[in-house]
Amino acid sequence: MGMAVMETIIQIKDVSKTFVGKENTVEALRGIDLDIHKGEIYGIIGMSGAGKSTLVRCLNFLEKPTKGTVLVEGKDLSVLEEKELRRMRTQIAMIFQHFNLLMQRTVLDNICFPLEIVGQKKKEARGRAEELLKIVGLSEKAKAYPAQLSGGQKQRVAIARALATNPKILLCDEATSALDPTTTKSILALLKEINERYGITIVIITHEMAVVQEICTHVAIIDGGSLAETGTVEEVFARPKTSAAKRLVFQNGGNYQEMKGKHCIRIVFKENSSFEPVIANMVLECKTPANILLADTKDIGGVAHGQMILQLPEDDIVAGKMISYLKERKLEVEELDNYVG
C-alpha cells in the first residue's frame, strides 16, 4: 500500500460557537470545516478577535462547540465521558503566550507536573523530565525557578512540559508573540525539530504571518469567526484569494518591528535588466537585511523601470556600503530624511 492517503488526525465539521451574555450574543465561530493531517505543522491565523483562540480551545474541548463536531483520531469528543476526555487531553498538549509555568516550582518539577497528575512514579517522572530538558537544550537549568529564566527559556520549559505525556498533537496559542524576533526564530526551529523527530502534529495559532511562513506547511485564515481561506502555505502566499488573506499576506511583511531606523533611501531604476536581482544581491553582499517599504517597478522590454524605497540598517558603515553597491550598479540613489511609510 502506498502512503498516498494522508491520515486525518483532527477533523472539524461545521463548528460554530456562540457566547451568550446579558447584553449581547457573540458568534465567535461560524460553520468552520477543517481537516488537519498527521504530522503537519498547521497554522491558524487571523487578526485579534477573529476567533482563532476559541477554535483552538474547541480542539481539546476546553470550549464545547455550540454546533458541529470535533473528531480527534476519529473519536467524536462530544460523546466522550469526562474521564475519557481527560485521557484524550493528555494526547493534546498546549503551550501559551504567557508560558503558564508554576512559579514556586523548579524547572524540573514544572516538567514533572503533568506526569504526577497521571500518576507516574516520582523517579520515572524525573528521568523523563531530564530527558525532555535535554531535548529543549536546557539541562543546566533543572534546578532554576521560572523567575530566573528569560522568556525564550520559559517557553522551552513549557514545551518540555507539554511533551511530558508523549502527546500526538501540540497546540501553540500565540506561543511566540511575547518573544523578540530572534528568540521567536529559535523557538520555531525547536518546534520544527520536534515535529520532524517525533512526528507530532503541531497546530499554531498566531496573528503573525512571519510565524506561519517560517515553519507551517498548511494554513487556515480565520476572519470574523469564519474560515476565509485554507491551503498550503505556498499557495496562500503566492496567490491569496480573499481580502482577509491579502491583508495578512501584505501586512508589512512582518519586519517593521525589527527595523525602526530612519535610514531610508529611494532608488530609481532606469537601465538595469529586470532579470538581475539587485536588491537580493546587495543583501547577500552586505550580509545584512534591508526593508523594502515601497516598490513600484515595471518590466519594460526586459529592463526594470520605477522606484523603490528601502530602509537600511542603523549601522552607518553597512548602510554606506549598501549605497555604494547600488550606485556601482548604475542606480540613482537618493537619501531620504525622516521618511515615514
Which pLDDT tens digit goes with each residue over 263-285?
788 887 777 666 677 888 888 88
Residues 165 and 291 in one domain: no
For residue 307, give its domain range. Answer: 264-336
Same domain? For 168 and 239 the reply is yes
pLDDT of 47 reads: 78
| One-letter identity of residue 330 | K
Judgement on whether residues 52 and 132 belong to the same structural domain of the protein: yes
Residue with cell 477573529: 50
Per cent of the chain over pLDDT 90 is 37
Judge if 199 and 287 occupy the same domain.
no
Are 171 and 131 in the same domain? Answer: yes
Q: 29 near 4, Cβ under 8 Å? A: no
Same domain as 130, residue 111: yes
- pLDDT, tens digit, 9 for 90 and up, residues 160-212: 999 998 999 999 998 888 888 888 999 999 999 999 999 999 999 998 888 88
Asked whether 60 and 171 are in contact (CB, 8 A), the reply is yes
41, 205 in Cβ contact below 8 A?
Answer: no
**Could you tell me the pLDDT band of residue 132, with boundaries at 50, 70 and 90?**
very high
Q: Does one domain contain both 22 and 81? A: yes
Would residue 191 count as lying in a domain? yes
pLDDT at 317: 87
Let me know if residue 225 belongs to a domain: yes
Query: What's the total number of domains in the chain?
Result: 2
Instruction: Please report whether residue 40 resides in a domain.
Output: yes
pLDDT at 275: 60
Assess whether 190 and 286 both reside in one domain.
no
Residue 3 lies in a domain: no
Same-domain pairing of 281 and 134: no
Question: What's the pLDDT tens digit per position in 282-332?
Answer: 888 888 888 888 777 766 667 776 778 888 888 888 888 888 888 888 888
Per-residue pLDDT at 273 = 65
Q: Do 17 and 151 fall within a single domain? A: yes
* Run of H or E residues at 195: helix 181-198
Let me know if residue 273 belongs to a domain: yes
Report if residue 144 sits inside a domain.
Answer: yes
Rounded mean pLDDT, 45-65: 85
Q: How many CB atoms lie within 10 A of CB 139?
A: 14
Helix (H) and strand (E) counts in the chain: 11, 14
- The region of weakest confidence among 6-10, 83-87, 308-312, 335-339 is 335-339
CATH of the domain at 325: 3.30.70.260
Q: What is the dihedral of CA 185, 191, 196, 199, to 10 degrees?
A: -160
**For residue 171, what pLDDT is reported?**
94
Q: Are residues 102 and 76 in the same domain?
A: yes
* CATH number of 140's domain: 3.40.50.300
Does 153 fall in a domain?
Answer: yes
- Domain final residue, candidates 198, 225, 253: 253
DSSP 273: B
What pLDDT, on a 0 to 100 scale, did the predictor assign at position 245?
84
pLDDT: which is higher, 71 or 331: 71
Residue 29 within a domain: yes
Residue that finishes a domain, picked among 226, 253, 280: 253
Q: For residue 3, count CB atoms less than 10 angstroms from its CB and return exposed for 0-12, middle for 13-18, buried for 19 or more.
A: exposed
Domain end point (choices 253, 288, 314): 253
Task: Tell me, yes or no, whether 300 and 245 share the same domain.
Answer: no
